[in-house]
Structure formats: C-alpha cells, structure tokens
C-alpha cells in the first residue's frame, strides 16, 4: 500500500521512471501517426480521407473510455489499471506493426486507444500517490515537461524512423519500451487504497455513448457535415446524459464525477483546462496553414517555427510546478494564460513579411504562458478532490484536455468555412479570446474556497 505521504528515495525514482516512459510512448504515438498518414495511405492503397481513421479511431477510443477506466482505478487500484493499459497498448502496437490493411490497422488502433486510455486515466492519480504532498507540484511539473518534450520531438522521431525503415516500425518501437516499462512497473508502482463500491456498467456505457456522440457532433459541426447526422449525434449525447446524470446524483462515487464539480476550485480548474486547451488547439492547428499558405514557408521551416512553443513549455512547466507548491494556482494560471493571450495577439499582429526571429520570439512567449498554466492548474484540480476520489479527478483532467483539443480543432475548421482566406487570422483571434477567458476563470479561484 502507498505511504500516506508518497514514496521515498529509489522507490520514487523507479515509479516516476515507468510513469514517464509510458506517457512518453503514448504521446509520441499520437504525434508520429499523424506524420505517417500519407505513407500509410499509399502503402495500404487507401484514400487520404479514409486514412484519417488511423488517428480518429485512436482518439475516439481514448475519449469514450477515460472515465470508466478512472473508475476502475478507484475500485481495483490505479496500479492494476495502469499495468493493464500498458499491456494492451504494447500488444496493440505489435499488432499495428503487422497490419496489412487499413481496416485492420484502424481496428487495432481502437485497441491501442483503450490501452492508452488505461494509462492516461490514472497517470495523474499515480503521481499523487508517488510524490510527497509537499512535492506534488514538482512531480506534475516534471510530467508536463515529459509530455511537452515528447510532443516537440514526435514529428522528428517519425521522420528519422521513416528515413531508415517502413511505417510499421513507428509502432514496433513501442514494444521494447513497453516491455521495459512493464518490468519496472511490477517492482515500483505503489498499491493504492481501493474503493468499496462496485463498477457501474450501465454508467460506463452511457458515459461512452455521451462523450463519443458529443465528440462526433463537435467535430462534424466544424466540418459542416450533414445537419441531420450532427443533430442526431447531439440528440443522442443529450439523451445519454439525461439518463446518466440522475443515476449519478444518487451515488457516493459516481463514474461521471458530478460530486467533485460541487467543489468550486475543482469546477473552475476543469473549466480553465478546457478553455486553455481549446486556445492551444486553435493555434496549433491554424498556425501551420498560416506559415505555409500565407507566409510561404516550407514544411520543414514550419516544423522549425512551431518547435519553440512546446520547448518553452518544457522549460516553464517544471518551474511552474515548483512555484505551485508555494503560490496559489489561480495567480500562476491566470498570469500564464494572460501571457499566452498576449503572445497570440502578437502573432496575429505579425508584419506582412516577418523574419524567422519575429515569429520565434512570439511563439516562445506563447509557450512560456501555457507552461506556467498547466502544472499549477493540474495540481489544484487534484488537490481539490479527496484522495479517495483521485481516480475521478485524474479522469476529468484528461477528459478536459481532450475536450478542449477536439473543440479547438473543430473551431479552426469552422473558421476556415466562415472566413475563407482569413480563416487563420480568425482562428488565432478566437484562440486569444479563449486564453483570455481561461485567465479570467483561473483568477476567480482566488475568490472561492476549496
């Protein structure tokens, strides 16, 4: 059983090693799959539109299963769910590497998404039980650093692998890493207290239907798809919520953790996360179009110009994590997101023919602002929940991020549809607006009790 105040010494370092190895693998997998889509489509004789399912199948599986896996973590222990997720992810990676059709690859990517969800759903919960309370912000900051670095180097790793091997090796490289992480996990991850309630299978199905149809509706709205399909998806999500919410209200530890949203700091931290990741996604999706279509930069140059953002996050996140152990998240997150909003406005205000330096220092400002928000916000969200409900809080943390990222990508598509050639500018203005909104929400935490 995990100590009341985390692990110590070598035990803590080994536990963090397997957590960081595994989250790196999950993040890299998403990034390298995007880069490899054209190659995969050609080799499997699939259209570019159909190949998108290699990405969508993974993301949809993650989204619909986060809360059920978080609930399983509370009931059976976070270590068990984490190890099961790692096993499934590693096995699915091997199956991806031997897939010989798009249908098989997309199907296995669903399995891989469930494995990734098992990892992501309890990632933050494990850090809470591994790190002493006084160092929790530092641990979350290190985790944010690892995620930021993995995101930054993902396209480069994919390019390096594709330069010397075929696309199946993008998935095959996960196998030895997964096996090593599993071996370390067996001897290092702490056992955690288990909740006495049973798993609610009906709530799991309703939660999956609700979030799955909601993501379909959000994504479809951004792409102006068939209105009847969109309305049907939205109606289905609302109907599932109408059944799930009353069922949830009568439970002590519900799968849809509405009990936690009664805590002001928790609710505001989740809202801050959704708005800020919406802002980040708007910028991440829109900027490559701006750099290439408006400024005429090459694909290689675009990758170079995008890199300062995640690299600066990697520098800022551990610093913010240390500061979060001493100062309120409302201030750190509010200031960081205000800086992000300012950086996005500065990007919009770029001259007609900017130099690389003009772009790089503005992207650095954006990264610094986002980095100072993330660690304190995650720490506040976790700490505002009881230790017995850490699984629910961890699931909400991941779900908030995914909901924000999906909404941001959909809004970029909507901006292009409405504004045409000015779509990138419109998307960036929207990103700055969401960041400013997130900053305001973050600051209101200073006025609320935990």
Q: Which CATH number fits domain 257-450: 1.10.3720.10, 2.120.10.90, 1.20.1250.20, 3.40.50.300?
A: 1.20.1250.20
pLDDT score of 449 more than 80: no
| Sequence-distant (≥ 6) Cβ neighbours of residue 37 within 8 angstroms | 48, 51, 52, 54, 55
Q: What is the mean pLDDT of residues 84-109?
A: 93
| Sequence-distant (≥ 6) Cβ neighbours of residue 409 within 8 angstroms | 219, 222, 281, 285
Query: Are 374 and 317 within 8 A, CB to CB?
Result: yes
Q: What is the mean pLDDT of the chain?
A: 85
pLDDT digits (tens, 9 = 90+) for 49-85: 677 778 778 888 888 898 899 889 888 889 999 999 9
Distance between alpha carbon 6 and the CA centroid of its chain, in Å? 25
Confidence of residue 3 (pLDDT cuts 50, 70, 90): very low
b/e per residue 106-117 (b: at least 16 CB within 10 A): bbbbbbbbbbbb
pLDDT of residue 49: 64
- Domain boundaries of the chain, sorted by first residue: 1-194, 201-250, 257-450
**Do 1-194 and 257-450 fold alike per CATH?**
yes
DSSP state at residue 292: I
**Backbone phi, psi, residue 140, to 5°:** -65, -35
Sign for the CA dihedral angle at 182, 393, 153, 413 comes to positive
Q: What's the CATH fold of domain 1-194? A: Growth Hormone; Chain: A; (1.20.1250)
State the DSSP string of 36-73: HHHHHHHHTT--HHHHTHHHHHHHHHHHHHHHHHHHHH
* pTM greater than the 0.75 cutoff: yes
Confidence of residue 340 (pLDDT cuts 50, 70, 90): very high
| Sequence-distant (≥ 6) Cβ neighbours of residue 294 within 8 angstroms | 424
Sign for the CA dihedral angle at 429, 430, 433, 435 comes to negative
pLDDT digits (tens, 9 = 90+) for 242-263: 998 888 887 777 888 888 888 8
What's the rounded Cα separation, in Å, for the pair 181 and 265? 34
């Amino acid at each position: 059983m995990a100590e009341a105040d985390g692990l110590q010494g070598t035990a803590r370092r080994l536990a963090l090693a397997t957590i960081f190895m595994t989250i790196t693998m999950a993040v890299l997998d998403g990034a390298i799959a995007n880069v490899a889509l054209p190659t995969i489509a050609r080799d499997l004789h699939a259209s570019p539109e159909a190949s998108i399912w290699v990405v969508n199948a993974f993301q949809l599986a993650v989204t619909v299963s986060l809360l059920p896996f978080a609930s399983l973590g509370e009931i059976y222990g976070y270590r068990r769910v984490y190890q099961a997720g790692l096993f499934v992810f590693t096995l699915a990676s091997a199956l991806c590497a031997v897939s010989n059709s798009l249908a098989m690859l997309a199907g296995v990517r669903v399995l891989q998404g469930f494995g990734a969800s098992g990892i992501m759903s309890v990632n933050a919960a494990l850090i809470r039980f591994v790190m002493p309370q006084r160092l929790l912000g530092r641990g979350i900051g290190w985790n944010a650093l690892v995620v930021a670095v993995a995101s930054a180097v993902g396209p480069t790793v994919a390019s390096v692998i594709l330069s010397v091997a075929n696309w199946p090796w993008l998935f095959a490289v996960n196998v030895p890493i997964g096996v090593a992480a599993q071996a370390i996990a067996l001897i290092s991850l702490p056992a955690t207290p288990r909740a006495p309630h049973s798993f609610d299978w009906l709530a799991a199905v309703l939660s999956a239907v609700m979030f799955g149809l909601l993501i379909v509706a959000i994504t479809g709205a951004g792409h102006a798809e068939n209105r009847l399909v969109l309305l049907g998806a939205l109606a289905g999500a609302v109907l599932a919520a109408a059944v799930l919410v009353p069922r949830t209200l009568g439970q002590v530890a519900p799968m849809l953790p509405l009990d936690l949203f009664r805590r002001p700091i928790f609710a505001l931290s989740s809202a801050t996360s959704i708005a800020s990741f919406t802002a980040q996604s708007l910028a991440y999706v829109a900027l490559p179009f701006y750099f290439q279509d408006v400024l005429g930069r090459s694909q290689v140059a675009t990758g170079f110009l995008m890199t300062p953002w995640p690299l600066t996050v990697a520098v800022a996140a551990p610093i913010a994590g240390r500061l979060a152990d001493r100062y309120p998240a409302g201030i750190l997150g509010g200031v960081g997101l205000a800086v992000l909003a300012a950086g996005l406005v500065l990007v919009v205000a770029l001259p007609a023919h900017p130099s690389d330096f003009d772009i790089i220092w503005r992207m650095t400002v954006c990264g610094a602002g986002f980095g100072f928000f993330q660690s304190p916000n995650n720490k506040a969200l976790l700490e505002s929940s009881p230790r017995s409900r850490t699984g629910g809080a961890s699931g909400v943390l991941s779900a908030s991020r995914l909901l924000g990222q999906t909404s941001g990508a959909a809004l970029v598509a909507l901006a292009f549809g409405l504004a045409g050639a000015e779509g990138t500018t419109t998307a960036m203005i929207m990103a700055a607006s969401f960041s400013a909104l997130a900053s305001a929400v973050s600051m209101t935490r200073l006025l609320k009790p935990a």
